[in-house]
Amino acid sequence: MAVDTLLLELGTEELPPTALDALSDAFAAGVEKGLQEADIPFEGVTAYATPRRLAVQVKNLADKQPDREVERRGPALAAAFKEGAPTKAAEGFARSCGVSVDELIHLETDKGTWLGFREHQPGESVQALLPDILRKAISALPVPKNMRWGTSRIEFSRPVHWLVALYGSDVIAAEALGLQASRTTYGHRFHAPDAIQLEHADAYLGALENAFVLADRQQRRERIREQVLAEAEVQEAQAVIDEDLLVEVSGLVEWPVALTGSFDERFLEVPAECLVSSMKANQKYFHLLDDQGKLKPLFITISNIDSADPQQVISGNEKVIRPRLADAAFFYDTDRKRTLASRIPQLESVVFQQQLGTLADKARRSSAIGSYIAETIGGDVTHAQRAVALAKCDLVTEMVLEFPELQGIMGRYYAEQDGEPADVAQALEEQYLPRFATDAIPHSATGKALALADRLDTLVGIFGIGQRPTGAKDPFALRRASIGVLNILVKGELNLDLRELLGVAAEQYQDLPKAEGLVDDVLTYMLDRFRAWGQEEGISAEMYLAVRARPVTKPLDFARRLRAVKAFAQREEAAALAAANKRVSNILSKQEHDGSTQVDQSLLHEPAEQALFKAVASSQQQVTPLFAAGDYQQALDALATLREPVDNFFDQVMVMADEESTRRNRLALLASLQALFLEVADISLLPQ
């Protein structure tokens, strides 16, 4: 069986840059799936993409499917012959196989003997199978939005212009999107617009690079990164390379050339975040910082041409960015003519959620929650109330309406200008922290109070109208809000009771449709997020369930228990003690035990049960202050010493003694043992 390289390329008008990676990966996955389903051996599949093409290269692809022995089973032998003559069933099966009854074979199975037919089936060729694989791969692409062009009824993300399908040096007779496959591709639109005839599928990357096209996405990104860093070094500056922007820019060019431009220094009077947002969102520029971390009046643009006169390209970009930055400066100057506080009445007309009212309604509810939290954690209640009142005011400013990603940031700038207390201004930006699981949390007490109050109000309100997240839909980002609350409470070491916080939040609402059991419902949902939270720290599902089995409603306490159980699970005694606790749990659940842990020493007859009693009593004295201090890890370390007396007890003592008083006493001893571990978690749920 011969092998060679397969190349498939779809040439298009410029594809959406933010969708390029998804389209490219899906194209490769579709081709790979098709080859696997066709059972054609290959070594590896590589995806390539530029703004004007999606391509897949398959190395060492076999030229056909493997030959196969096909076995068909017909009627049972008893039904195939009657008095030695073939029945109609046997004759019909033979005809369907294209042979006579005499050419059929007998197949022995554990259910009896059957008529059968076995034939050698040659594998189909790549040439025959690829057209259908290609069509299916293209039709399955996750195109963001289809369009039509000309008079054609064909639909795709952008107009298509050429199709390459090469197996080695041979063109595959395939058709897709109205295009007939060939060996013709095209290079850079301006530098090398003429057709390129590919002699072999292996020549693809080299031929395109000679035609000013870098088809490898990762290579193109790294080329951009290197050029941006080199340009920054020339300017004695630090380039800020946002990875999302890098991906987007690499989806806009086929032959990247980094150029440095400048803008008027007067624009630096505008907050740097405004200028950066404008440069990134509108022009896809990389910005530069000086050695003090301050924005420099420079930018780096990635051109798609290697111009003979790069200054012309730079001048064009400088001309374009000037009005963009002027707009940002105008928005900033306009917004500063009013205080944030003067915008509070505008929130009355901004809907938060139809059933939950406006942003003004949300602020009134959050004020009570924020005040409670601030007082509980030792913050300034007056500042917390002020921060809540101003929290959403920047949403109605010109700057944030133009650049929504600046919410909170602009609130801080405008609050500082208005002379608001420093922690209030800081809280306006911190309210959105953490934005993701590993992000920083608010630093100030006012920021923590505001961030928690805002999220808790949203969680209770949305659950209260019956719109809790489903597996696929979470329009109000309640999962993220829940993990944000957990992170603030845990990383901020705030030992607050989540049930109490949710109760305060629920009290601010009137007549919620799903008010019954609302606090418990939201509490359960939020504590369940600890499963995902714990994965970040290497905490298994069993460890999570062991803690979740206890009525713990303080996230900081929950996290400490999780970490203690994780450390305990690494000990050699863990599995044995987990098994023992499971055994204890099973025994107690099956007996009519009243839950008592009071042990009568006079009824302890066996040395092993006496030793266990002493060990449990000693451990209880040792770990009680550790439990009180929340030092669960040290407590479990101390309880690990119980392994030997526990093992001896089960080896030498009959728990279910005939004498009822002895039996009940031993059950009480086991209950006291179990109770010690349950102060932390139900370790019977750990792997054994």
| 3-state SS record for 532-590 | HHHHCCCCCHHHHHHHHCCCCCCHHHHHHHHHHHHHHHCCCCHHHHHHHHHHHHHHHHH
Give the lowest-confidence range in 100-104, 168-172, 551-555.
Answer: 100-104
State which H helix or E strand residue 661 sits in. Answer: helix 660-678
Residue ranges, comma separated, of all CATH 3.30.70 domains in the chain are: 3-65+125-210
Q: Does residue 577 register a pLDDT over 90?
A: no
What pLDDT is stored for residue 342 in this prediction? 97
What are the residues whose beta carbons fall under 8 Å from the beta carbon of 203, sequence distance 6 or more?
A: none
Judge contact between 59 and 123, C-beta under 8 A. Answer: no
Pairing of strands 68-76, 295-303: unpaired
Q: Is 281 exposed, middle or buried (0-12, 13-18, 19+ CB in 10 A)?
A: middle
State which H helix or E strand residue 3 sits in. Answer: strand 3-12
Edge to edge, the sheet with strand 170-171 lists 44-50, 53-62, 3-12, 160-167, 170-171
Give the lowest-confidence range in 164-168, 491-495, 498-502, 566-570.
Answer: 566-570
Q: Which amino acid, 500?
A: E
Residue 592: pLDDT band (50, 70, 90) is low
Residue 519 backbone dihedrals phi, psi, to 5 degrees: -60, -45
Report the mean per-residue pLDDT for the chain: 92
Mean pLDDT of 594-607: 80
CA-nearest of 451, 457, 464 to 411 is 451
* Cα separation, 488 vs 504, whole angstroms: 18
Residue 593: pLDDT band (50, 70, 90) is low
* Cα–Cα distance list, 190 to 85, 194, 220, 303, 353 (Å): 79, 9, 18, 12, 51
Mean pLDDT of 126-146: 92
Instruction: Name the one residue in this structure whose structure tokens are 């007859």.
Output: 605
Q: Does residue 439 register a pLDDT over 70?
A: yes
Q: Does residue 596 register a pLDDT over 80?
A: no
Task: Specify which of 86-100, 244-258, 611-625 reaches the highest per-range mean pLDDT.
Answer: 244-258
What pLDDT is stored for residue 594 in this prediction? 66
CATH class for the domain made up of 569-685: mainly alpha
Mean pLDDT of 558-568: 92
What are the residues whose beta carbons fall under 8 Å from the beta carbon of 73, sequence distance 6 or more?
A: 107, 114, 115, 116
What pLDDT is stored for residue 44 in this prediction? 93
What pLDDT is stored for residue 667 in this prediction? 85
What pLDDT, in 10s, does the model give residues 402-416?
A: 999 999 999 999 999
Give the lowest-confidence range in 146-155, 210-219, 250-259, 313-322.
Answer: 146-155
* Cα–Cα distance list, 156 to 131, 135, 153, 179, 462 (Å): 18, 13, 10, 13, 38
First to last CA, the chain: 51
Q: Does residue 91 register a pLDDT over 90?
A: no
Residue ranges, comma separated, of all CATH 1.10.3210 domains in the chain are: 341-528
Q: Which amino acid, 30?
A: G
* Cα separation, 616 vs 636, whole angstroms: 13
Judge contact between 166 and 172, C-beta under 8 A. Answer: yes
What pLDDT is stored for residue 150 in this prediction? 82
Q: Going by CATH, does the domain composed of 3-65+125-210 fall within 3.30.70?
A: yes
Judge contact between 332 and 267, C-beta under 8 A. Answer: no
Residue ranges, comma separated, of all CATH 1.10.730 domains in the chain are: 569-685
Whether the model pTM is above 0.85: no
What pLDDT is stored for residue 473 in this prediction? 86
Task: Report, at the CATH architecture level, how domain 341-528 is classified.
Answer: Orthogonal Bundle (1.10)
What pLDDT is stored for residue 124 in this prediction? 87
Mean pLDDT of 341-346: 97
Residue 336: pLDDT band (50, 70, 90) is very high
Compute the Cα dihedral for 183, 189, 190, 191 and give only its sign. Answer: negative
What are the residues whose beta carbons fall under 8 Å from the beta carbon of 447, sequence distance 6 or more?
A: 387, 423, 426, 427, 429, 430, 431, 433
